Chains A and B, each alone.
Chain A
Amino acid sequence: MTDILMPALSPTMEEGTLAKWHVKKGDAVKSGDIIAEIETDKATMEVEAVDEGVVEDILVAEGTEAVKVNTPIARLAGEGASAAAPAEPTAKANGAAASDAPEEQPAAEAKAPPTGEGPAAVTPAEPLRDPELPQGATLTKVTVRDALRDAMAEEMRRDESVFLMGEEVAQYQGAYKVSRGLLDEFGERRVIDTPITEHGFTGLGVGAAMAGLKPIVEFMTWNFAMQAIDQIINSAAKTLYMSGGQIRCSIVLRGPNGAASRVAAQHSHDYSSWYANVPGLKVVAPYDAADAKGLLKAAIRDPNPVVFLEHEMLYGVEFDVPDVDDWIVPIGKAKVRRTGADVTITAHSRMVGLALKAAEELAAEGIEAEVIDLRTLRPLDHETVVESVKKTGRLVTAEEGWGSMGVGAEVIARVLEHAFDYLDAPPARVCQEDVPLPYAANLEVLSLPSVEKIVQAAKAVSYR
């Protein structure tokens, strides 16, 4: 006898709706037969039998919502059926699936990944008013994913020379659904599916930019942009200089950067420090939806090549976005996300959420941390950091990538140059362990920076 269990569509799915049974009590099933359909917020999936046998009982009725993963949903009687086994989810091929199920997106978006340190969408205790925020603007909850889409759509409406290209950006609506709806609105001329040829299509984008267009090139993830890095650095970044200012290249290169969840070394690389090393490029790495939108719009209008680093674990997280006509956040300005007098913590992208959580834990222990979201890595706004360190005397840098030659190393160097005498303790870096990111769940947790590691570092520099 085998219990058929509620399957997960992704390792982080926790529950779903049992939408339909295709079998009833007494039916014989063999492996591969479709037995049920389940629905999640992301997709409808068909469930196949893995073991063969006769359906002895249906344990969860059709239409039941919020069925927890691994709950027994039916019982099979049959030869050799022994251990409890979940049925196997497979893609539903008839088009009824929600459009919102990125193919290569193992992590449930807003939910914590199995590492238990998911996207920390923490709003600071006293939200600071963004200086750029117009008086009286209302705020709307928007996911980072939709904020990025809105930014592209607004700029494409505004400027007909802006277009988007990349793998699966058009018909599939984006591998992570960031470009959802753009093909419908702008058509095939301006929303272009490319073959899997990063080096080539990036070169085409850079060339088109040299001819005066304003391409947005999406990389399915930045890992794959390594195929194209020559065009990004040798062509996009350097040609203005080499041509004595004649050849311009207004291009945005964007996509998710850094570690997702359990996708191992080749799919988890954080390129922040790589691109931030290169003169001629601007490098932006936003945390929340307002910055994602405002900075992407600024990036599209910028006359220079802009590397725009997003984070897959933040795509599904909702934040307040000001409901104003043309929300632009200037490139090159850091943002103080939490004020505090005891220790300065710098972070960018997903690490900002972790730093804010760490600040709350520190506050509970009487240490008031000031959290600075760098937002732009090149040009780096060290003035904001230096001002803060002059007040706190202590500095912790948090980044997802490796520490050696990293963003934290640069921040610390600038603080030493400009505020050496204000430091009360040697600064500390929180970063990824100095190894390729392992797949195993426990090793992955050990490798990545965490709230805990930031708290520890902040205490260490505070001699606590």
Chain B
Amino acid sequence: MARARAAAKPGGKTTKPDAKTGKDDLLGYYRDMLLIRRFEERAGQLYGMGLIGGFCHLYIGQEAIAVGVQAIKKPGDQVITGYRDHGHMLACGMDPREVMAELTGRAGGSSHGKGGSMHMFSTAADFYGGHGIVGAQVSLGTGLAMANRYRNTGNVSFTYFGDGAANQGQVYESFNMAELWRLPVVYVIENNQYAMGTSIERSSAETELFRRGASFRIPGEVVDGMDVIAVRDAAAKAAEHARAGEGPYILEMKTYRYRGHSMSDPAKYRTREEVDEVRKTRDPIEHLQELMARQGVADDAALKAIDADVKRIVADAAEFARTSPEPDPSELYTDVYLEAAR
């Protein structure tokens, strides 16, 4: 590995205790991140029981990103991502029952069991998927922004992708058009340092991904993706830029996935110590708890109540996902085509 590791020490801005953020907001972020973490742990468990099949990519470790961006998302702003999508859907406010039941492939799932873990959608929550092909969502998300510009909605498309996806050609074709046409899109790169078993140093000539828009004149910045406040503030600035008609913006979120790429990843490409170190020193949920303590707004009773509430929601979602029936066989041939309007 030739290049220095940017991984361990995020170069991005980190928040200081912040008087502007009210206690309710902080508790809200805490709740949303905890919901994702507990949901994902439960999903892992259901996978272990054989209730979830195929590929299942957990978001544990990266919770601050989806939650921080969601905090400044306006109604009608779209969200689109890859296959590591459960966290974004929960952050968007999709019903955990529907998400979990899609993981188990049941009729109660958001795609009636036909999409599964990697392919979920909710137009009601402005969530455009859930895409299994690495990089595809980048052009699609840019297209969502094109529609926003076309209709003059004032909305922004938050287009998420990984450090591995950042090398796909269509990303750069999209960057060019996005800047050329000043499309309202915020590219959120979730740099968790690895694409499957390949570290970013082994796949990328330029590892500072926020610079990847430079030759298209797209501004970019690096953000501590383990700090929900830093994520939120960076997203606010980027979205404002896009909404004001200034065009796209790139946010490189430095983050880390705690779990394997998908469920059975023997993880020989990194050490247990590396994972433990991040968990111990950079965990986004603990980070927020510390922030609340420093600001003197940590309220043990409130946190306990949230823990209990989240636990109940996740248990309920799992139960729903387990007991929801399989889709009716007649569903096999639905939703292949729409009837053409006459």
Whole-angstrom distance between the Cβ of B121 and the nearest chain A Cβ: 13
- When C-beta atoms are compared, the residue in chain B nearest to A114 turns out to be B53
* Residue from A87, A106, A199, A441 in contact with B169 in the complex, judged by beta carbons closer than 8 Å: A199
B270 touches A93 (CB 8 A): yes
The yes or no answer to B267 lying at the interface (CB within 8 A) is yes
If A7-B49, A264-B118, A442-B326 touch, does A106 touch B336 (CB 8 Å cutoff)? Answer: no
Among the 9-residue stretches A167-175, A386-394, A403-411, the one with 4 or more Cβ atoms under 8 Å from chain B is A167-175
**Measuring CB to CB, which residues of chain B are less than 8 angstroms from any residue of chain A?**
38, 41-42, 44-45, 47-50, 52-55, 105-106, 111-119, 131-135, 164-165, 167-169, 195-198, 202-204, 259-272, 274-275, 308, 311, 315, 319, 326-327, 329, 331-333, 336
Separation of A268 and B203 alpha carbons in the complex (Å): 26
12 CB contacts below 8 A, A to B, read A9-B48, A12-B50, A97-B266, A103-B196, A103-B262, A106-B263, A106-B264, A196-B167, A223-B133, A263-B55, A264-B54, A265-B119
The complex places the Cα of A95 from the Cα of B333 at a distance, in Å, of 45
Find A95's partner among B268, B275, B308 (CB 8 Å cutoff).
B268
Q: Are B45 and A50 in contact (CB under 8 A)?
A: yes
A436 CA / B132 CA spacing, docked (Å):
14
Secondary structure at the B interface, as helix, strand, loop or mixed, is loop
Complex Cα spacing A260 to B132, Å: 15
Q: Does A121 interact with chain B (Cβ within 8 Å)? A: no
**A197–B172 alpha-carbon span in the complex (Å):** 12
Contact with B along A427-443 (1 / 0, CB 8 A): 00000011110111111
Contact check, B270 vs A32: say whether CB atoms are below 8 A apart. Answer: no
CB pair B169 A197 closer than 8 Å? yes
- Complex CA–CA separation, A104 to B264 (angstroms): 7
Query: A83–B323 Cα gap in the complex (Å)?
Result: 13
B331 (CB) vs chain A CBs: closest residue: A443
A99 touches B268 (CB 8 A): yes
Closest B residue to A43 using CB positions: B266
Q: Given A103-B265, A266-B132, A438-B113 in contact, is the A443-B332 Cβ separation under 8 Å? A: yes
Known: A195-B204, A197-B167. A446 touches B332 (CB 8 A): yes
Chain A 96-109 interface 0/1 with B at a Cβ cutoff of 8 Å (1 = within): 01110111111000
Contact B332 A196 (CB under 8 A): no
Distance A91 CA – B116 CA, assembled complex (angstroms): 22
A224 touching B259, Cβ below 8 Å:
no
User: Which chain A residues lie closer than 8 Å to B315 at the CB level?
Assistant: 82-83
The answer to whether B116 touches A264, judged by C-beta atoms less than 8 angstroms apart, is yes
| Option from B42, B48, B111, B135 in Cβ contact (under 8 Å) with A89 | B48
Q: Which single member of A50, A89, A92, A196 contacts B134 (CB below 8 Å)?
A: A196
Task: List chain B residues, Cβ under 8 A from A5.
Answer: 48-49
- Asked if residues B113 and A93 are in contact (CB atoms below 8 Å), the reply is no
Most buried by B among A265, A433, A434: A265
| B residues less than 8 Å from A264 (CB atoms) | 54, 114-116, 118-119, 132
Interface membership of A447, Cβ < 8 A: yes
Kindly provide the distance from the CB of A418 to the nearest chain B CB, expressed in whole angstroms. 35
For the complex, give the distance between the alpha carbons of A435 and B164 in Å. Answer: 30
Beta-carbon contact of A172 and B269 below 8 Å: yes
Interface presence of A133 (CB below 8 A): no
Known contacts A196-B195, A264-B119, A447-B332: does B50 contact A11 (CB below 8 Å)? yes
Closest CB in chain B relative to A330 CB, distance in Å: 35
Q: A45 in the interface, Cβ–Cβ < 8 Å? A: yes
Q: Which residues of A contact B264 (CB under 8 A)?
A: 9-10, 42-43, 45, 89, 91, 101-103, 105-106
Is B263 in contact with A439, judged by CB distance below 8 angstroms?
no
SS of A interface (majority): loop
Choice from B133, B274, B326 contacting A266 with Cβ under 8 Å: B133
Task: Indicate whether A286 reaches chain B with its CB closer than 8 angstroms.
Answer: no
**Could you tell me the distance between the alpha carbons of A31 and B133 in the complex, rounded to whole angstroms?**
32
Tell me whether A439 and B115 are in contact in the complex, defined as CB-CB below 8 angstroms, given that A43-B264, A106-B55, A262-B54 are known contacts: yes
A99 cross-chain contacts in B, Cβ below 8 A: 266, 268
Digit string of A441-464 for contact with B (CB within 8 Å is 1, else 0)?
A: 111001100000000000000000
- Further 11 A-B residue pairs, CB within 8 A, beyond A50-B42, A439-B119: A5-B48, A8-B48, A8-B50, A43-B264, A70-B49, A86-B45, A89-B48, A172-B196, A266-B132, A435-B332, A439-B114
**Which chain B residue has the least Cβ–Cβ distance from A200?**
B169
Residues on B with beta carbons closer than 8 Å to the beta carbon of A172: 196-198, 268-269
Closest partner residue, chain B, to A115 (CB atom): B53
Residues of B within 8 Å of A48, CB to CB, are 41, 44
CB distance from A447 to the nearest CB of B (A): 7
A98 to B264, CA, bound (A): 11
Task: Tell which of B49, B133, B168, B270 touches A86, judged by Cβ atoms closer than 8 Å.
Answer: B49
A301 interface residue (CB < 8 Å to B): no
Residues on B with C-beta less than 8 A from A193 are: 198, 202-203
Q: How far is the CA of A27 from the CA of B315 in the complex (A)?
A: 24
Considering only residues 254-312 of chain A, those with a C-beta below 8 Å from chain B are 260-267
On whether the beta carbons of B133 and A101 are closer than 8 Å, the reply is no
Which chain B positions have C-beta within 8 A of A94? Answer: 271-272
Once the chains bind, are A114 and B50 in contact (CB under 8 Å)? yes
**A85 interface residue per 8 A CB criterion:** yes
Instruction: For residue B303, give the distance in angstroms from its CB to the closest CB of chain A.
Output: 15
Shortest Cβ gap from B133 to chain A (Å):
6
A354 to chain B, nearest CB (A): 20
Q: In the complex the two chains form, is A267's CB within 8 Å of B55's CB?
A: yes
Contact (Cβ within 8 A) A90 B45? no
The 7 nearest A-B residue pairs measured at CB: A7-B48, A439-B116, A97-B266, A262-B53, A440-B113, A91-B260, A262-B54
Residue of B nearest to A267 (CB): B132
A5–B263 Cα distance when bound, in Å, is 17
A91 close to B44 (CB less than 8 A):
no
Q: Which residues from A are CB-within-8-Å of B270?
A: 93
- Tell me the bound Cα distance from A31 to B280 in angstroms: 15
Neighbour of A440 across the interface among B165, B260, B266, B326, CB < 8 A:
B326
B residues in contact with A92, CB < 8 Å: 266-267, 272
A93→B257 CA distance, assembly (Å): 13
In Å, the complex CA distance between A208 and B309 comes to: 59
For window 103-152 of chain A, which residues contact chain B by CB distance below 8 Å?
A: 103-106, 114
Q: Is the CB of B133 within 8 A of A80?
A: no
A399 at interface by CB-CB < 8 Å: no
Q: Which residues of B contact A80 (CB under 8 A)?
A: 308, 311
CB-CB < 8 A to A234: which residues of B? none
A42 to B49, CA, bound (A): 18
Contacts of B55 in A (CB 8 A): 104, 106, 263, 267
Which of chain B's residues have a CB closer than 8 A to the CB of A60? none
**Interchain CB contact under 8 A, B53 and A441:** yes
List A contacts of B319 (CB < 8 A): 83
B269 touches A440 (CB 8 A): no
Q: CB of A368 within 8 A of chain B?
A: no
Least distance between B128 CB and chain A CB atoms (Å): 15
Complex Cα distance, B268 from A32, in Å, reads 20
Min C-beta distance of A206 to chain B, whole Å: 15
Query: Is A88's beta carbon under 8 Å from chain B?
Result: yes
